[in-house]
Amino acid sequence: DFTPTADGRSFTGVLRYAGETDAELVDGTLVLPLEREGIVANPKNLEGVWTTDCGVLVLDEISGRYRGVCGADRLQIDAKFASGVLQGDLLNDRTGERGMFRLTFNRSLGLFTGYYRYADDEEETPWEGSRLQ
């Protein structure tokens, strides 16, 4: 179980092998620049790496839709972007919970505020983030 730091350049976590009860604390640092992996901030769209209050979010645009993964819960998102709003479906990879989200971006596409909500939840969870440069 690894959790990326807010800047997306390192992580902390716990490592446990199947069948064992003892866990080992681990940490690490990104040694390969994100740019070499093709993960680059694009100021004309939302692609790139974002630091959010739910963890690091990596977004990619594929055929006019945005797909991404966020945080230790591996929130998987699939969404459309229009008029400054990214809205779509999410799946919590850990729990299997499904839901929806809505994020509103500033004019420069560098910040967002919004929320997500699982299908069984009555209340929305706030979600804010900024683009990692």
CA 28 to chain centre: 19
The CATH code belonging to domain 35-131 is 2.40.128.120
Q: Among all chains, which residue has been given the structure tokens 């994020």?
A: 103
Q: What phi and psi values does residue 32 have, to the nearest 5 degrees? A: -110, 120
Mean of pLDDT values over 92-119? 95
Q: Which residue has the higher pLDDT, 78 or 93?
A: 78
Residue 101, CA distances (Å) to 9, 19, 86, 119 in order: 26, 37, 8, 11
* Under 8 Å between Cβ of 83 and 66: no
CA 132 to chain centre: 12
| pLDDT score recorded for residue 52 | 92
What's the angle, vertex CA 97, arms to CA 106 and CA 17, rounded to 5? 105
Q: Which residue has the higher pLDDT, 125 or 30?
A: 125
